[in-house]
Amino acid sequence: MRFKMLVLATIASSVLATAQAGEFKKPEDAIHYRQAVFEVLGHNFADIGAMVKGKKPFDKTAVVYRAENIAVLAKLPLEGFIDGTETGHTEARATLWKNKADFESKLSDMQQNTLKLLSAAKSGDESQVKQAFAMTAKSCKACHDVYKKD
Ligand code: HEC
**Dist. CA 33 → ligand 1 center (Å):** 12
Query: Which residue's CA lies nearest to atom 2 of ligand 1?
Result: 143
Per residue in 2-15, pLDDT (tens digit) is 666 666 565 555 55
Q: What is the pTM of this model?
A: 0.88
CA distance 72 to 45: 12
CA–CA distances in Å: residue 36 to residues 30, 31, 32, 81, 101: 10, 9, 6, 13, 23
Domains along the chain with CATH numbers: 26-147 (1.20.120.10)
**Dist. CA 15 → ligand 1 center (Å):** 30
Q: Which amino acid is residue 107, in one-letter code?
A: L
Ligand 1: residues whose CB is within 6 Å? 31, 34-35, 38-39, 41-42, 45, 90-92, 103, 106-107, 110, 136, 139-140, 143-144, 147-148
Is pLDDT of 16 > 80? no
DSSP three-state, residue 98: helix
State the chain's mean pLDDT as an integer. Answer: 91
CA distance 11 to 4: 11
Can you give the pLDDT at residue 15?
52
Q: Which atom of ligand 1 is nearest to the CA of 104?
A: 1
Can you give the pLDDT at residue 23?
83
Per residue in 81-117, pLDDT (tens digit) is 999 999 999 999 999 999 999 999 999 999 999 999 9
Q: What number is the average pLDDT over the span 139-148?
A: 98
Nearest to 75 by CA among 50, 23, 47, 40: 40
Share of the chain above pLDDT 70, in %: 85
**Dist. CA 106 → ligand 1 center (Å):** 11
CA distance 28 to 90: 9
Query: Which residue's CA lies nearest to atom 36 of ligand 1?
Result: 140
